[in-house]
Structure 1
Amino acid sequence: MEKRRILTGITTTGIPHLGNYVGAIRPAIEASRDPSNESFYFLADLHALIKSHDPKRVDESRRAIAATWLALGLDTDTSVFYRQSDIPEITELTWLLTCVCSKGLMNRAHAYKAAVQENEAEGAESGKTVDPDKGITMGLFSYPVLMAADILMFNATDIPVGRDQIQHIEMARDMGQRFNHIYKGQFFTLPEARVDDEVAVLSGLDGRKMSKSYNNTIPLFETEKKLLKLIRKIKTNSLEPGEPKDTEGCTLFQIWQAFATADQVEYMRKRYEDGIGWGDMKNELFELINEQLKEPRARYEELMNDMGYVEEVLQKGALRAREEAAPTIDRLRKAVGFGSFA
């Protein structure tokens, strides 16, 4: 059976939180253990510059995310694990794709349209003329091209994404098809978006989606003391102990489901019917999560104090990634007329 090639990247602008773990890291590591898959995982540090011009923040995030993947058990012998910025072929491919990508396609990108709409709303509210492109960099405008290069560089077949990211995979397909058509060859495999509706999207402290943008996250490897403190901050309603509680729409129960076994979920569902107090629920949730993260947390702390080892792992990953990328970019250079004169 032909292997599927899975590719996942995490932007290095923050510290991994429970939502990142449940929604992306855990399922990716599970997929990497399937012998029918070839797995490529990377730190999307070039993408980070679109969101952050703070070098300290980007550097700290790169370190934390690399250590997180390794602490959680990613097997770097069977997976290719690398930093995006260590693969110069990706940036070269970005330019080749930029030259076949229509501006109209980029005009329709969700992030760009949202930024324009925000500027227009500001203008309408102030009654002043506001440039719709105010504050929008070319990085933000054209980052779907970089994302397409990440994917097409390795001819990835399956890209696990949330529904809000499907557009980017369609754009990558569009650019790949366009390049194949113009240069008359099958240079790129066209990727498919893989949306797993079973993967949980966690709510944060305030009930909204857990996100750095909302400042409502629970960092994955907080100390036990801080983890308990954050869980106790999760917003609940005013129902008293002894009053039956609804699991539907409850952030605490949703997070419990993401970490619990089927038996544990049914146990807690019964506890809700019996009117568990919010304090007791938060304590039980802490115990459940802390037990699962105790060993990875210790390993994470070890790795954060041994960046030499982490660097060695990433350098080996970069060599493997470039072994794939170099012949591909050489073929593409020849296709566009950049072959040697000799």
Structure 2
Amino acid sequence: MSTVVKPARILTGITTTGTPHLGNYAGAIGPAIAATQAGDAEYFFFLADYHALIKCQEPERVEHSRLEVAATWLALGLDPQRVCFYRQSDIPEIPELTWLLTCVTAKGLMNRAHAYKAAVQENVDSGDADADKGVTMGLFSYPILMAADILMFNATRVPVGKDQVQHLEMARDIAQRFNYLFGAEFFALPEAVVDEDAAVLAGLDGRKMSKSYNNTIPLFVPAKELKKLVSRIVTNSQMPGEPKDPDSSTLFQLYQAFASPVETAAIRQRYAEGIGWGDMKTVLFEKLDSVLAGPRERYAELIANPAAIERTLQEGAEKARTIAAPFMRELRSAVGLRRLG
């Protein structure tokens, strides 16, 4: 008897607390969209707006970021017909599952979460008498919400950064505990997928591009603003004609993330020949603008028509709930939340 092999189910959460920038594209968005176009796996992409509430209590910022993030992924080519693209808060089964999982998760497991330990250590280092000062239950228990995101759809593979691997291990622990307590293999055990080669771009000041450093280059600023931002990228004092090291250059790193291997090799040679920083900034701007011009136009159209984005997200939620709703009924029955007659 032949065994039917189910396709891998890959799930990616996208936090909605800021404006997507070049680093987001190179490190996550671009590779993820490319994978959906090349592979035969099942893909789930969701706006993690419940997660956004953990650190952001600015309603307008959360609302606008949800719009920006959704428009960005769609403008860059995410096909909602090929994937399940939804908003976390549109799936009521997720917070319900979060509670079921919370009731079987040991507090000691949450005590070991990196984000919580870092918050406690910061309080200890500052001499605060309350080690838990400023720690909300959202921060403390958000690995359980992350586990619910994953286990709700029995994702088998979850692309994450190295700092999130611990949370995947926690999701596995929680799933195993639930399966053991209620006597069946309700949940598959997800695997973390860490791309060791994922691009980590430097920002305007040479540090990692990050909203927390205020050094980002937003993906879809107008061409004029993009040129100004590129001109602000910090370089060293080497003069035109002096050979330069491309591997230590923010300008080269950004160019490489958006150029073909042939184009990158040609610019590497120009570094050896001593290209001036002003010329390199012009080259970088022209490359970025050529790659982003089309998506920028599409992004502007989407931002101007939020109702179209809303329809797409609602269609994605309906697709997601065809999986989540019956599975949640099964889980409710498993824990004893059954109808009486």
- Report Cα offsets for 1:204-262 as digits up to 9, x if no partner: 11111111111111101011011111111111111111111112222111111111111
1:99 partner letter: C
The 1-side partners of 2:329 and 2:261 are apart by: 51
The 2-side partners of 1:338 and 1:102 are apart by: 22
Question: For residues 193-212 of structure 1, what are the structure 2 equivalents within 5 Å?
Answer: 193-212=192-211
The 1-side partners of 2:272 and 2:33 are apart by: 35
The 2-side partners of 1:185 and 1:249 are apart by: 53
- Report Cα offsets for 1:177-212 as digits up to 9, x if no partner: 110011110000111111112221111111111111
**How far is the alpha carbon of 1:324 from its aligned partner?**
0.6
The 2-side partners of 1:113 and 1:205 are apart by: 31
The 1-side partners of 2:275 and 2:185 are apart by: 60
Q: Does 1:88 align with 2:87?
A: no
Q: Does 1:130 align with 2:129?
A: yes
1:289 partner letter: L
Is there any run of 5+ residues in structure 1 with no aligned partner, and where?
A: 124-128
Deviates more, 1:1-10 or 1:85-94: 1-10
Q: Does 1:161 align with 2:160?
A: yes
Q: 1:20 aligns with which of 24, 30, 55?
A: 24
Query: Which residue number in structure 1 is paired with residue 315 of structure 2?
Result: 316
Query: Which residue number in structure 1 is paired with residue 250 of structure 2?
Result: 251
Question: For residues 107-186 of structure 1, what are the structure 2 equivalents within 5 Å?
Answer: 107-123=111-127, 129-186=128-185
1:207 partner letter: G
The 1-side partners of 2:151 and 2:249 are apart by: 40
- Report Cα offsets for 1:116-135 as digits up to 9, x if no partner: 11112222xxxxx4311111
- Report Cα offsets for 1:57-77 as digits up to 9, x if no partner: 000000000111111111101
- Give TM-score, length-normalised by structure 1: 0.97
The 1-side partners of 2:38 and 2:10 are apart by: 11
Deviates more, 1:114-123 or 1:269-278: 114-123
2:216 partner letter: T
Secondary structure of the residue that 1:9 maps to in structure 2?
strand
1:166 partner letter: V
User: What is the number of residues matched between the two proteins?
Assistant: 337
Secondary structure of the residue that 1:154 maps to in structure 2?
coil
Query: Which residue number in structure 2 is paired with residue 335 of structure 1?
Result: 334
Query: Is the 1:91–1:146 Cα contact (8 Å) retained in structure 2?
Result: yes
The 2-side partners of 1:100 and 1:208 are apart by: 41
Query: Which residue number in structure 1 is paired with residue 217 of structure 2?
Result: 218
Query: Which residue number in structure 2 is paired with residue 42 of structure 1?
Result: 46
Q: Does 1:2 align with 2:6?
A: yes
The 1-side partners of 2:119 and 2:248 are apart by: 30
Query: Which residue number in structure 2 is paired with residue 74 of structure 1?
Result: 78
1:72 partner letter: L
Deviates more, 1:24-33 or 1:140-149: 24-33
- Report Cα offsets for 1:284-323 as digits up to 9, x if no partner: 0111111010000000000001111111000000000111
Deviates more, 1:48-57 or 1:20-29: 20-29
Query: Is the 1:245–1:275 Cα contact (8 Å) retained in structure 2?
Result: yes
Q: Does 1:56 align with 2:56?
A: no
- Give TM-score, length-normalised by structure 2: 0.97
The 2-side partners of 1:257 and 1:302 are apart by: 28
Percent identity for Structure 1 against Structure 2: 63
**How far is the alpha carbon of 1:35 from its aligned partner?**
4.4
Query: Which residue number in structure 2 is paired with residue 241 of structure 1?
Result: 240
Query: Which residue number in structure 2 is paired with residue 126 of structure 1?
Result: none
Query: Which residue number in structure 1 is paired with residue 265 of structure 2?
Result: 266
**How far is the alpha carbon of 1:146 from its aligned partner?**
0.4
Query: Is the 1:67–1:304 Cα contact (8 Å) retained in structure 2?
Result: yes
The 1-side partners of 2:299 and 2:121 are apart by: 41
**How far is the alpha carbon of 1:113 from its aligned partner?**
1.1
Secondary structure of the residue that 1:33 maps to in structure 2?
helix
Secondary structure of the residue that 2:248 maps to in structure 1?
coil
The 1-side partners of 2:209 and 2:121 are apart by: 23
RMSD between superposed Cα atoms in Å: 1.0
The 1-side partners of 2:239 and 2:125 are apart by: 42
The 2-side partners of 1:154 and 1:28 are apart by: 18
Is there any run of 5+ residues in structure 2 with no aligned partner, and where?
A: none
